[in-house]
Structure 1
């Protein structure tokens, strides 16, 4: 797994989120409350951030939103279809049972407190999908442990190469 720094605009968003979290946590403490509000960023915002990071780190060319369910973009070769998933909760990726499947999957874990992200999975989507039932309705999640294990099975030649970029320069292998 590769860690990377989140770009400046996302850091600013997260700083604002962290200030809101601290502000209300202080109010709860003043009221002797044991509750903790997490102010987790969810849904479309996290998905959009994941797609933006994929563009920046891997040069993915995004498709029009309605173009193809199950495909978010194309690798720099212009042929390889890519599905992009992201989480801000530390859990695994969630999939829908779509008719079209991508050739490749990128899955990012975004750590809001550290203001960094981790590429949890970078490989052919079929390895991850093999962990799901062949037929299901609604949404199904692959656990974090399962997706990490699937990533360990990906050969280096099957991974999309990272593009060097100044805003996400610092990386470490985890």
Structure 2
């Protein structure tokens, strides 16, 4: 079963502001979406807050955090209901992968994948590709269910789940 966390109030406030901005400029057709780097940084901050992780001494593409034992972790996120994590070839490969889905209106972050990154790469990505590939979300959920929690990173003990 996926882990669900509450989003911090500043993230909820940011989403509300984004919604107000989009509404104010609705006549332009612009959406002002929360995506890309901002959503990724929010996910990394949540991972650092709720897991026993630290930032790596030197930032490397594909490695966002380190476990206490020195294993690498990649953190990915999406605020889109049907989008899995996006991967780019040629970047670093982490030992673990955390994938968050943000339900901004509900103020929740659901960890849809918490485990080894290798099975995701081996089973859900082509052997070779160019550009950015988004992993099929249903397939990711199935893989997470199949793998279970055996290789999941543990939450910090003080983490409160709503």
- TM-score interval, normalised by the smaller of the two chains: 0.7 to 0.9
What is the aligned partner in structure 2 of residue 3 from structure 1?
4
Question: Against the structure 1 CA distance between its residues 16 and 82, is the aligned structure 2 distance closer, same or farther, given a 3 Å change threshold?
Answer: same
Q: Can you list the C-alpha shifts for 1:1-52, whole angstroms capped at 9, x where unaligned?
A: 1111101221221221233344455xx5xxxxxx976542011101111110
CA distance in 2, matches of 1:36, 1:112: 21
SS at match of 1:118: strand
CA contact (8 A) 2:63 2:92 kept: yes
State whether structure 2 residue 69 is matched by structure 1 residue 78.
Answer: yes
Question: Against the structure 1 CA distance between its residues 38 and 164, is the aligned structure 2 distance closer, same or farther, given a 3 Å change threshold?
Answer: farther
- Which of 76, 79, 99 is the equivalent residue of 1:107? 99
CA contact (8 A) 1:4 1:118 kept: yes
What is the aligned partner in structure 1 of residue 37 from structure 2?
44
Deviation at 1:55, TM superposition (A): 0.4
State whether structure 2 residue 52 is matched by structure 1 residue 98.
Answer: no
SS at match of 1:10: helix
TM-score scaled by length of structure 2: 0.87
What is the aligned partner in structure 2 of residue 149 from structure 1?
142
TM-score scaled by length of structure 1: 0.81
Deviation at 1:117, TM superposition (A): 0.9
CA distance in 1, matches of 2:150, 2:87: 25
Work out which structure has the larger RCO, using CA pairs closer than 8 Å and 6 or more positions apart in sequence: 1
In structure 1, stretches of 5+ residues that fail to align are 29-34
SS at match of 1:18: helix
- Greater Rg over alpha carbons, structure: 1
Count of aligned pairs between the two proteins? 159
Deviation at 1:89, TM superposition (A): 1.3
Q: Can you list the C-alpha shifts for 1:100-134, whole angstroms capped at 9, x where unaligned?
A: 31100000011111111110100000111121111
Q: Can you list the C-alpha shifts for 1:132-169, whole angstroms capped at 9, x where unaligned?
A: 11111111110111111111122323100111446xx2
- Output aligned runs, 1:63-74, within 5 Å: 63=56, 67-74=59-66
SS at match of 2:74: strand
